[in-house]
Structure 1
């Protein structure tokens, strides 16, 4: 199996889906409610749907290259890498220049890894699936740990003018207290420990590697439980249905947890 192309296809598909089904409902309705000229609204819609179509074509092109192989497996990843750097760079520059933080427009978090994977494939680099799963899951877990530290130190993203971050991240009503710095640091420590377990069991040797592998399986089980449980959380916390957390939990948080569980398991099995 071409691990780089298959991974790039999945990342591109997830990026396109998030743009269409998460970003669309967040961006387009406020635009429709705004009192601006219809031509301006239609122009914004053209740009938005054009990006959606481009992302879908990127995913489809990578899937075609994965199935076809040959020159397509070199040319298509190169083109997707270039587009990903462009999209990610624009998001990063806009986030810093307009909002003062790169997390205001976090699309680069998906685009830059996609560009890296595609660039490696275009260069003809061969990577074992287990190594790819280990580094991808370790990188994502480390990024999530950094995000929790950011929240603990008072970072406001993904809050905006309509919703506080506690409504989006925790599922509590506006005005509720966000988890303390100590709790955020504890979660960050657990995420970093999981990343270390995944990488350690992959590259460690001897008896400690067996213990690390056991720890990695435990991390995979916890992540899988979080992912599956997230789809039923609203039954235990009905009040979350009225908050943006409910939608984000079903479309982002739970699928991401399941994807991480699968990657950790893949890194441990291979």
Structure 2
């Protein structure tokens, strides 16, 4: 459910703030098109990862999906932090470094709890 809310917020709140100014810029159309594509890939990734976490929580033996979704989120988090630190400090003013980090921590805690519960039994 949170993934759906995140994707809706990304598309309908974030999109109008970011995409229209690109249309009005002097950037080449292929650069604008690639940014649009990448923006929507982010929404698809959020929905896919949400589905992976949901399925892993409901279906016994699907922990690998939660591990993969956590790894994806960690990669996105590292990318956001790396770009923020090295080239684009403006990213600190966006949700990217923070949201992906929270998802990574929550996913890692869930995976850890799974292993902790298994070791107790």
Aligned partner (choices 26, 29, 32) of residue 38 of structure 1: 29
- For the 8 Å contact 1:91–1:108, the answer to whether it is kept is yes
Using the TM superposition, give the Cα deviation of residue 82 of structure 1 relative to its aligned residue in structure 2, in angstroms: 0.7
Q: Flag structure 1 segments of 5+ consecutive residues without an equivalent.
A: 1-8, 127-270
1:142-169 CA-partner distances (Å, limit 9, x unpaired): xxxxxxxxxxxxxxxxxxxxxxxxxxxx
Quote the offset at 1:15 in angstroms.
3.3
CA contact (8 A) 1:61 1:76 kept: yes
Q: Aligned ranges for residues 74-153 of structure 1 at < 5 Å?
A: 74-100=63-89, 103-123=92-112, 124=114, 125=116
* TM-score, normalised via structure 2 length: 0.77
Distance 1:44 1:100 in 2: 19
- Which residue is equivalent to 2:12? 21
Kindly state the Cα deviation for residue 38 of structure 1 after the two structures are TM-superposed. 1.6
Higher RCO (CA < 8 A, seq sep 6+): 2
Which structure has the larger Rg?
1
- What is the distance in 2 between the residues matched to 1:47 and 1:99? 17
Output the aligned Cα RMSD.
2.2
Residues 92, 105 of structure 1: 8 Å contact kept: no
Task: Quote the Cα distance in structure 2 between the aligned partners of 1:86 and 1:37.
Answer: 29
Following superposition, the deviation at residue 102 of structure 1 comes to 6.6
Deviation string 1:157-184 (CA, Å, 9 cap, x unpaired) is xxxxxxxxxxxxxxxxxxxxxxxxxxxx
Gaps of 5+ in 2: none
Does 2:65 match 1:70? no
In the other structure, the counterpart of 1:48 is 39
TM-score, length of structure 1 as denominator length = 0.38
SS at match of 1:36: coil
Are residues 64 and 118 of structure 1, via their aligned partners in 2, closer, same or farther at CA, if it must alter by over 3 Å?
same
- For residues 34 and 88 of structure 2, the distance between their equivalents in structure 1, rounded to whole angstroms, comes to 23
Partner residue, 1:198 = none
Once the two structures are superposed, residues 179-211 of structure 1 have per-residue CA deviations (whole angstroms, 9 ceiling, x without a partner) of xxxxxxxxxxxxxxxxxxxxxxxxxxxxxxxxx
Conserved 8 A contact 1:92-1:106: no
**CA pair 103-76 structure 1, distance change in 2 beyond 3 A:** same
